[in-house]
Amino acid sequence: MLRLYDTRHRQVEPILPVGARALRMYTCGPTVYRYAHLGNLRSYLFADLIRRVAERQGVRAMVCQNITDVGHLADDAEIDPLGEDKVLAQARAEGRSALEIARFYEDAFRRDTGALNLRVPERTPRATETIDLMIELIIKLLEKGHAYKGPDGSVFFSAESFASYGEISGNRLDALHPGHRVGGVDPRKRFHADWALWKPAHRDLTWDTPWGRGFPGWHIECSAMSLAFLGEHVDVHTGGIDLRFPHHEDERAQTDSAVGHEVVRHWAHGEHLLFDGRKMAKSTGNVVLLSDVTDAGLDPLAVRLALMEHRYRQQMNLTWDTLHAADRTLNRWRSKVAEWAESPSKPIATDSAPAIQSAFNDDLDTPQALRLLRALERDPAIPPGSKFETFLHFDHLLGLDLSSEIGRIPVLPPGAAELIDQRSRARTAEDWPESDRLRDALAELGVKVADTPDGQTWTR
């Protein structure tokens, strides 16, 4: 069974009980006011890999991924961030309505995730369409004494009412200092670490509530959506490491306080992505989009392959050289699979397949899985038909469309595939006369072979 590093428990552990047949997973979705960059997309690949591995083990996945199209402020780093709604700010900058901005970038996000072969979640609720769920949850928190009203129509969560706050990030309430704010600590708060569940405002995208007109705070939407669409027991909650605090700490406090028990069994986070040695962020000026990759002539799935070269919870430094290398590997593997498809079918490589599957199960050790597949590719003792079946078997997890070249390359004449395989073994054994003899035999069949650093290739 798949095991992951649980951020709250500080250890690798199975994400499902033995015999479980369903996986309920919540993954924090995009704030749709700009294009997602490769660092953002790495987090969604992480969730996709969890789902694919679980489904390969016969587990039915139910995934909920929110769309934040209101309420997310400009500075997420503060416990109760001050600033302007990102969607509204972008709408003003582009001269469009807030909903036009939100739908435009939501569509762009779906195109990018589709290009990366990320499975579509069963539920993708939008914040603007689930305000009633948030209001109901806030009312419940008020009734249970975990929230209080401000004098101006605001509502705050009482951080001190949740005794285990800080178990995910290690940021305990007694060690937290007030955030930077003009005029000092917000006078509406009873405690400086309290955060807003509802903010009063008269602007676009506001709603009426029993305590006044306004819009939701950032954290409340994920609590409301996970409870509504996944229920009171969630197996795993994923997101980028930057969401660990304050977002996931606040979300856990809200959700558990409303229900009265621990809702999420496992919290799992993907690490930051660097590009050319710097964190990928708008502020550093090195944001790389998926469109930048395709504009450079690379397959978008080269990004998927490159990201899997590092484990999800390792900080990764991506470069253009890395992406070009991944693109070459992707093209080579597709050509190889198409070539192996012409050979007689053989069973999956029993010596390699269990180890590859074990790597995926072991905290998504994708680098080890890729190393084992490369070794399998080069192993002359494994028949081409067996390589074909093994690569396609694991492409259900890799998601690289490795079968896409089948039928697009010339078909080998009868007997040629066996001669190519024999020549590969001869070259491994450094039997050069036999290698030359087989080259000539292939030429008589109309097949030209060439030797490259990545192995031999052929053309008709």
Report helix angle 98-115 to 300-308, nearest 10: 70
251 annotated as ligand-binding: yes
Quote the CA–CA distance of 357 and 375 in Å, as a whole number: 15
- Please name which of 31, 26, 30, 20 lies closest in space to residue 51, comparing C-alpha atoms: 26
28 annotated as ligand-binding: yes
Quote the CA–CA distance of 86 and 132 in Å, as a whole number: 21
Quote the CA–CA distance of 296 and 226 in Å, as a whole number: 39
User: Residue with structure tokens 């180890």?
Assistant: 355
64 annotated as ligand-binding: no
Quote the CA–CA distance of 287 and 306 in Å, as a whole number: 17
Cα distance from N-terminal residue to C-terminal residue, the chain: 45
The residues that bridge with 12 in the sheet, in sequence order, are 5
Assess contact for 372 and 359: CB atoms under 8 A: yes
DSSP 260: S
User: Residue with structure tokens 């992707």?
Assistant: 330
Give, in order, the Cα–Cα distances in Å from 108 to each of 49, 89, 103, 113, 359.
Answer: 21, 18, 9, 9, 33
- Residues annotated within the binding site for Zn(2+) are 28, 222, 247, 251
- Residues annotated within the binding site for ATP are 282
- Residues annotated within the binding site are 28, 222, 247, 251, 282
